[in-house]
Amino acid sequence: MDDIYKSAEHIAFLKSLVFRERLAFAWLIIVVCEYLATLREEFTYIWRKPFNSVRFAYVFSRYFGLAVQSTNLYLVLGPLSRIGLRKHTCQQWFAFQLSAVLLLFASLDFILMLRIYALYRKDHAIGAILCICFVAHVGVVSVYGRNSIYDVPYDAVCNAMSSAPGLLYFG
């Protein structure tokens, strides 16, 4: 009976790995297709004009996202494509993903806050409030995100088996 259970569990882990690999590959295809579809406009509106903070944030988020998705596909097809991964390995992978998402959201927040700042005619009080909100948000997300990585149990293929209590913040 134990052999049947272990083989069923093994098959479930293998299915999970295959699903993760296909999903990572599909998302990379979507990102590359979006990149290719908007490349002409990017050259027209971003690369041919002087660089400023908004253009830098755009370029960062665009190419950093592509690099992260490519790296994630490499990890999923390579080091993370086996059963029996250690908890520390899973924590490192989730930390990589959390850091990438945090940086991408921070660049988006930065662009939106610059637009709000401009709408208020570059009022220094509004700028200070936006900076405080930005730093506070990044701080809270960093602390709760870091804690959630280490509080979550993982199975043999790095699937989170439950959610950390701190993740309630993320809604």
Paired tokens of 4:
């049947």
- How many domains is the chain partitioned into structurally? 1
pTM (2 d.p.): 0.84
Instruction: Give residue 1's pLDDT.
Output: 44
pLDDT in tens, 71-87: 999 999 999 999 999 99
Per-residue pLDDT at 152 exceeds 60: yes
Range of the domain at 164: 2-170
Mean pLDDT of the chain, nearest integer:
89
